[in-house]
C-alpha cells in the first residue's frame, strides 16, 4: 500500500542549529502539505504545494523556516536557526489534487534542546 | 477564517459500547468538507470518515457514522461496537472548497480510550 514517507522519525537538535526534514509523497499526488503539531494540539498548516509551486505559506515563519519541492515530487522543510519553541511533530501529507483526501506520513518528532 | 472546536479533551468507553465525539465549527463558507481523522499512538493520522456539506445524508463507514447538522454547524462522530483498536486521538477537520488553497483546519482533538 502506498504511503507518505518521512525522515527522520526523530530528531534532537540544539538551539540555533539547522535542521531539515524530508517527505516523499504518494506517487502521483500533486498536492503536498507540511503541518506542525504541537503536543496536545491539532496540526496547523505551515505550507502547501501544488506540484512545485507554493499555494499557501501564510503561516510559515519565513525568517527561519523554508520549504521546497523543486521537481514537484519530494519536499524538504528546513529550520535555521532552530528555537526551543520549534519542538513539535512535523507532519507531511499529500493528496491527488486539491480538495481530495489527504494522506499523512508518520511525522518527524523534533526536540530542540 | 474557519475554526473547529472539540470540547471533549478525553473520553472513555467500554469495549462493545457506543461513544459519540462532538465537534462544532464556524465558517461563512457554503461549500466545504468535514472530516474525522484518527491518530493512534505513534502512528500516522488516517481518515475515518468524510462529509460533503452539500449532502444532507449523514456519512457512514462501517462502525463509524456522523451526525451532520449544517445549520447548527455541528459534526459529531459516533463509534458503535467500540474496539480496543479504536483507542486514539480523534481530530475533527474542516476543508473549504476554494481552488488550490485547500488546507485542513483541525480541532484540538479528543483522546479516546477504549477499555475492557
**Smallest Cα distance from A83 to chain B, Å:** 23
pLDDT tens per residue across span B34-65:
999 999 987 889 999 999 999 989 999 999 99
| pLDDT confidence bin for B30, thresholds 50/70/90 | confident
Q: Please judge whether A104 and B103 are an interchain contact, meaning their C-beta atoms are less than 8 angstroms apart.
A: no
Query: CA dist B41 to A70, A97, B46, B89, Å?
Result: 33, 28, 12, 8
Regions of chain A with pLDDT less than 50: none
Instruction: With H, G, I as helix, E, B as strand and everything else as coil, classify residue A84.
Output: helix
Please report where in the chains the cell 522519525 appears, as a residue: A9
| pLDDT confidence bin for B100, thresholds 50/70/90 | low
pLDDT tens per residue across span B9-19:
999 999 999 99
pLDDT of residue A100: 82
Distance CA A80, CA A20 (A): 9
Give the number of A-B residue pairs with CB atoms closer than 8 Å: 58
pLDDT tens per residue across span A99-113:
788 999 999 999 999
Amino acid at each position: 500500500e502506498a504511503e507518505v514517507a518521512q525522515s527522520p522519525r526523530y530528531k534532537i537538535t540544539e538551539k540555533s542549529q539547522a535542521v531539515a526534514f524530508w517527505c516523499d509523497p504518494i506517487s502521483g499526488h500533486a498536492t503536498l502539505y507540511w503541518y506542525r503539531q504541537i503536543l496536545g494540539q491539532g496540526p496547523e498548516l505551515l505550507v502547501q504545494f501544488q506540484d512545485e509551486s507554493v499555494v499557501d505559506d501564510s503561516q510559515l515563519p519565513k525568517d527561519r523556516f523554508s520549504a521546497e519541492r523543486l521537481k514537484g515530487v519530494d519536499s524538504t522543510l528546513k529550520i535555521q536557526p532552530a528555537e526551543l519553541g520549534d519542538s513539535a511533530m512535523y507532519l507531511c501529507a499529500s493528496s491527488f489534487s486539491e480538495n481530495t483526501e489527504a494522506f499523512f506520513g508518520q511525522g518527524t518528532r523534533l526536540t530542540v534542546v | 477564517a474557519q475554526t473547529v472546536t472539540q470540547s471533549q479533551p478525553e473520553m472513555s468507553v467500554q469495549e462493545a459500547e457506543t461513544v459519540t465525539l462532538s465537534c462544532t465549527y464556524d465558517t461563512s463558507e457554503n461549500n466545504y468538507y468535514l472530516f474525522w481523522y484518527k491518530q493512534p499512538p505513534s502512528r500516522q493520522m488516517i481518515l475515518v470518515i468524510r462529509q460533503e456539506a452539500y449532502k444532507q445524508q449523514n456519512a457512514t463507514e462501517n462502525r463509524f457514522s456522523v451526525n451532520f447538522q449544517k445549520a447548527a454547524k455541528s459534526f459529531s462522530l459516533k463509534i458503535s461496537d467500540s474496539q480496543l483498536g479504536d483507542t486514539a486521538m480523534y481530530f475533527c477537520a474542516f476543508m473549504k472548497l476554494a481552488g488550490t488553497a485547500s488546507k485542513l483546519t483541525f480541532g484540538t482533538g479528543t483522546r479516546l480510550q477504549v477499555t475492557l
